[in-house]
Structure 1
Amino acid sequence: MAKLFEPLTIKNITLKNRIVMSPMCMFSVKKEDGLVTPFHITHYESRAVGGTGLVMIEATAIEPRGRIQPTDLGIWSDEHIDGLHTLTDRIHAHGAHAAIQLGHAGNKAKTTDTPIAPSSEEPAITAMTPTMIDQLIDQFKVAAIRARKAGFDIIELHAAHGYLLNQFLSPLSNKRTDLYGGTKENRYRIVQQVIDAVKSVFHGPIFVRISADEYHEDGNTAEDFIYFSQEMKDQGVDLIDVSTGGLVNAAINVFPGYQVSHAEMIKQGANILTGAVGMITEAKHAEEILNNNRADLIFIGRELLRNPYWPRAASEALDVNIDAPTAYKRGWT
């Protein structure tokens, strides 16, 4: 059996293979109310039909002003639960597990609300007070309760790509002088508190997505990212989803697997499960990453947008037989 198609047990969940649909913003909410639409159901269910082991839905906003775009999915209201539950039901119906990425865009939000950030010298951006930080932590907690009620198996916290939790982690964007700024221990504090809050109400696996390279000489170092990851592991985080960039403008040399070395760095340096992401399009490349112990899960993004049945193509490339959906057996065999 190719390792890409080996099961992986994380806490109380056994994924049928190592293929994960990476969270990708769809910007497809129609009324800017954060509610699931028929498009979302078709979109995510088709990837489960195609054989993906874990389908992770897009960054889902924990409050309206935390949306990346007004057309993002939301989880700030109980009204969102039913639609999200329909999504998890349709994903589970095809033997896949369902994950949700909880996020807040911070000052990268493009809504009519005044954006918030750890610190700011711009009058158009509100620097968060301690009370606002407490409210944010509670919003993540309540969102995790809603995610549990909606049937999600796994929660991922979005602390990457220059969004709010990433802004706290980085010295490039966090200029606070209180307990949430300055040292790496202080910059990590809000992430620590969010993880603890989510763990108190959600008992399935918890992932965290980080940007493990800020492409700036004054940003966090590899040692800083390993420290953050070790702290997350000590708190009970199960896997680090390792991406890069997004906080500041940077010229990034992009090529197939360009972020895999960062997943390997975190995996080896913090002794924690990692997911690799970033222009991984070929099955044999994915297999190499897993067999060389560079990561434990393969997050497939744009290639799954192009081909919902990528797992089938991967199985053929690796000479592995996988079960075809009953309705498609005549075409798959």
Structure 2
Amino acid sequence: MVKTPFELAGKSVFVAGHRGMVGSALVRRLAQEHVTLLTVDRREVDLRDQAAVNQWFAGHHPQVVFLAAAKVGGIIANDTLRGEFIYDNLIIAANVIHAAHVHGVQKLLFLGSSCIYPKLAEQPLREDSLLTGPLEPTNEPYAIAKIAGVKMVEAYRRQYDSDFINVMPTNLYGPGDNYHPEYSHVVAGLIRRFHEARVAGASEVTVWGSGKPRREFLCVDDLADACIHLLKTYSDSELVNIGTGEDITIADFAHLVASTVGYGGRINFDTSRPDGTPRKLLDVSRLARLGWRAKVPLPEGIKLAYEAFLRSRAAA
């Protein structure tokens, strides 16, 4: 098996999904490395098109691949766009991973999602809890697609001795997030909702769900830094969770976002909306042993995320 550390300097590096929240964070972080950055717009190459993906790899010869491209969204998007979420994510993973193998990529990092773990798995979620129980029904299609990507990476390592690795990020937030009123993740959704309520002078804001579930939140720039660290220092078939190791109730988190945005009205919780998994906290002990810990405290990160939201509004 390939040895570590992996020398990133001087390599040509393809970030698949460079315009998304994770991909753009990776691009920012890679600016600190001595690499040749490769990106491609989806209008030029649709990663769901196998022939187009193979042609692009053949013409550009990336030595390193960060597979951050995915169709993503919050709980409503996952539950509503089930066919799109399973098809798009399955085929993107299959096309890029296989092309990386065929065209001799030296190292690939595949970004999964903590939703691949069973709904009622023991907390905090250890990497070995994968496939030990039923998934959360609302995001099952997305989770299955991501599990397939994980297993494809494992299979190519075993059969072809490919230096491909899997990482599992927790819930993310930060610059480049999607602020769609229905299809956003919880952080972006709450930032937008409280901002608009403050601007409109609304006396109350309703948050979906009971507020009781607990979630872990990681700044996307911390994720990018962890990915670079693992790409250089890790080479094994085992998954590696990436998170903070700390969680917070959605209710407490909503109050934190409201305070950051400057909204002082009442917060209600709509229990007719789905809660999703009761708790989702990653066990990050493996990551800690590998020499990396999250750096951005949640209050500071939410402040930075709100500033990014305001910039996105101003640029629109």
Q: Could you say which TM-score interval applies, normalised by the shorter chain?
A: 0.3 to 0.5
Q: Which has the higher contact order (CA 8 A, sep 6+)?
A: 2
Structure with the higher helix share, 1 or 2: 2
TM-score by length of 1: 0.37
TM-score by length of 2: 0.39
